Chains A and B, each alone.
Chain A
Amino acid sequence: MSNWLLIIYCGLITFLTRFSMIALLKKEMFNDRIREILSFVPSAIFPAIIFPAIFLDNSGDFQLENNPKIMAAIIAMLIGIISQNIIATIISGLASYWFLIFVV
Chain B
Amino acid sequence: MNNKFRVFLKGVFDVSPLMIPVVPFGLIFGVLSIDIGFSPIETMGMSLIIFGGASQIILLQLFSGGASSLVIISSVGAVNSRHLLYGAVVSEHLSDLKLIWKIIISYFLIDQAFARSNEYFKKNNDKNKYFHLFGGGITCWVIWQTTTFLGIVLGAFIPEKLGLSFAVPLTFLALLVNDFRKLINVIVIIISGLVATFGFNYVPYKAYVIVAGVTALLTAAILTKLNKKNE
Where the two chains meet, the residues of A that have a C-beta atom closer than 8 Å to any C-beta of B are 1, 3-11, 13-15, 17-23, 25, 27, 29-30, 35-56, 60, 69, 72-73, 76-77, 80-81, 83-87, 89-90, 93-94, 97-98, 101
Asked if B190 CB lies within 8 Å of chain A CBs, one says: yes
Chain B residues bordering chain A, tally (CB within 8 A): 90
Please count the residue pairs between chain A and chain B whose beta carbons lie under 8 angstroms apart in the complex: 257
Q: Kindly identify, within residues 150 to 180 of chain B, every residue whose CB is under 8 Å from any CB belonging to chain A.
A: 162-163, 165-180
The CA of A61 and the CA of B59, in the complex, are separated in Å by 22
Chain B residue at smallest Cβ distance from A39: B85
A100 vs B200: C-alpha distance when bound (angstroms)? 26
Among B38, B77, B170, contact of A3 (Cβ-Cβ < 8 Å): B38
Provide the residues of chain B in CB contact with A21, threshold 8 Å. Answer: 83-88, 91
Q: Which of B72, B105, B176, B181 interacts with A6 by CB under 8 Å?
A: B72
Q: Is the CB of B55 within 8 A of A19?
A: no
Q: Are B173 and A76 in contact (CB under 8 A)?
A: yes
Chain B 212-227, CB-CB to A under 8 Å as 1, else 0, gives 1110110111001000
10 A-B residue pairs with Cβ-Cβ distance under 8 Å, sorted by A, are A6-B59, A10-B59, A14-B76, A18-B87, A48-B209, A51-B192, A72-B170, A81-B181, A83-B177, A87-B174
What are the residues of chain A within 8 A of B69 when measuring CB–CB? Answer: 1, 5-6, 9
